[in-house]
């Protein structure tokens, strides 16, 4: 793996992109134009034409190669492939550590979820259980205001309905994708039933503080995750774990393939199933939420066990010790 240089976009020396005719020119901070070789390197980055405020590193081994602002006003990054590879490896290793710790954390959280009324502890436990079962995004006020997309902390009481012990969550998620999730869980259903005594326009995950309800925020949820698991995990790690397990279980259901064509079709099927569960495109599901070791194992005719605990089965598949 190449030795990478850590850079601070816009502060470190680099190029800005300037429109010239039908194309772009690239001007260094010192005022010089990019050389032919540098221009070729920059064009290979394929920075989207729609990006504004583009900054491009002048070092080919920078960990961040380019930055810009997309049409929605969000800052976007192009990372060095080696940096992404390193970050992905760390992400999936962290996911497996969460898999080790989750069973104990689940048992501890169940005690708080059984509390009466709506104290903060019960609401946090309900959020934790929802992340386990649905792996939805944590949500933010910025996403709600800017894009009308909801996540865990911005769901409303009316986004949840009950059918016995089955909880149904329907809402618009990131990218305008409509999420329709169902979980059968008596304790979570009891929590949702208790929230229905409030206004349907109130936040679903809100606790009673005296006479006022206070909604959970992303920092509340992530801090609770860290306390329950004893590790440096966030809500996104639940999505990675859920995506990887979903793909692994789908491959196990499809069974061994006798030809490369059949194997590739099964892998595509598993990726598509994962994208549906997470509310992402197949490309994002594969690139960000499925541990590539699961697909590599399938290509060697090894699949996850569909019996017993899901976390334990994943650890067994990937040769990890749960202790």
The whole-number pLDDT of residue 73 equals 85
Pick from 72, 78, 89: nearest CA to 17:
78
Q: Tell me, what's the pLDDT at 22?
A: 87
277 beta partners: none
Tell me the H-state helices in 135-287. Answer: 141-147, 186-195, 218-229, 235-254, 260-278, 282-284
Positions of the chain with pLDDT under 50: 321-323
pLDDT at 314: 96
pTM of the model as a whole: 0.81
How far, in Å, CA of 317 to CA of 297, rounded?
Answer: 8
Domains and CATH numbers, the chain: 14-79 (3.30.66.10), 114-233 (3.90.15.10), 237-317 (1.10.132.120)
Residues contacting 118, CB < 8 A, separation 6+? 194, 195, 206, 207, 208, 213
């Amino acid at each position: 793996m190449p030795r990478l240089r850590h850079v601070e976009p816009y502060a470190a020396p680099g190029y800005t992109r300037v429109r010239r005719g039908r194309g772009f020119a690239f001007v260094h901070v010192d005022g010089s134009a990019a050389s032919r070789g540098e221009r070729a390197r920059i064009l290979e980055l394929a920075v989207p034409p729609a990006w504004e405020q583009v900054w491009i590193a002048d070092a080919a081994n920078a960990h961040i190669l380019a930055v810009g602002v997309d049409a929605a006003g969000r800052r976007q990054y192009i990372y060095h492939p080696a940096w992404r590879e390193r970050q992905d490896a760390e992400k999936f290793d962290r996911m497996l550590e969460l898999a080790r710790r989750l069973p104990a954390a689940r048992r501890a959280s169940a005690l708080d979820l059984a509390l009466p009324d709506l104290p903060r502890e019960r609401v946090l436990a309900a959020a934790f259980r929802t992340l386990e079962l649905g792996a939805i995004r944590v949500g933010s006020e910025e996403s709600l205001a800017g894009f009308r997309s909801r996540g865990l902390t911005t769901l409303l009481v009316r986004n949840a309905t009950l059918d016995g012990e089955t909880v149904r969550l329907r809402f618009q998620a990131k990218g305008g994708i409509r999420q329709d999730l169902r979980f059968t869980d008596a304790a979570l259903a009891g929590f949702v039933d208790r929230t229905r005594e409030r206004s349907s326009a109130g936040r679903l995950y809100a606790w009673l503080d005296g006479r006022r309800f206070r909604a959970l925020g992303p920092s509340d949820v992530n801090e609770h995750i860290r306390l329950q698991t004893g590790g440096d995990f966030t809500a996104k790690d639940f999505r990675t774990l859920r995506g990887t397990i979903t793909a692994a279980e789908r491959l196990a259901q499809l069974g061994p393939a006798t030809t490369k064509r059949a194997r590739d079709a099964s892998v595509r099927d598993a990726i598509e199933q994962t994208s549906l569960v997470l509310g992402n495109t197949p490309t994002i599901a594969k690139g960000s939420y499925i541990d590539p070791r699961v697909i590599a194992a399938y290509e060697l005719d090894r699949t996850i066990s569909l019996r017993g605990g899901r976390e334990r089965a994943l650890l067994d598949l990937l040769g990890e010790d749960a202790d």
